[in-house]
Amino acid sequence: MIPFLETLKINHPQIRVDNRSILDLHAQDIINSTGISEFDLLLGGPPCQAFSVFGNRKGIKDSRGMMIFEFLRITKDLKPKVFIMENVRGLLSMPFTKESKN
């Protein structure tokens, strides 16, 4: 198991942890595992290395950069009242459309 998940389980055993990749996760999985069908808040932070000024700045040409679209897919499907997506400032100056991938 991933170390931070082990720490989370030790400190908060009542919290359900699903450590599947977001590529394998669907909104219905989240609804089924939580028993919640309406979400007030969705909080996430897709990997930032592809956008960071301290990295190679490959954006969505980097597979980690494509994870933003997966976060948005889950957000669209869950339809929370509010969502917060944390990332790095470099994201603002990168091409952000799938068409810019080629």
Question: Which of 2, 102, 96, 3 has its CA nearest to residue 50?
Answer: 96
Instruction: Determine which one of 30, 42, 48, 74 is catalytic.
Output: 48
Active site residue 48: yes
Alpha carbon distance, N-terminus to C-terminus of the chain: 36
Please, are residues 44 and 86 in contact by the beta-carbon 8 Å criterion? yes
The backbone torsions φ and ψ at residue 53, rounded to the nearest 5 degrees and listed phi first, read -70, -15
The catalytic residues are 48
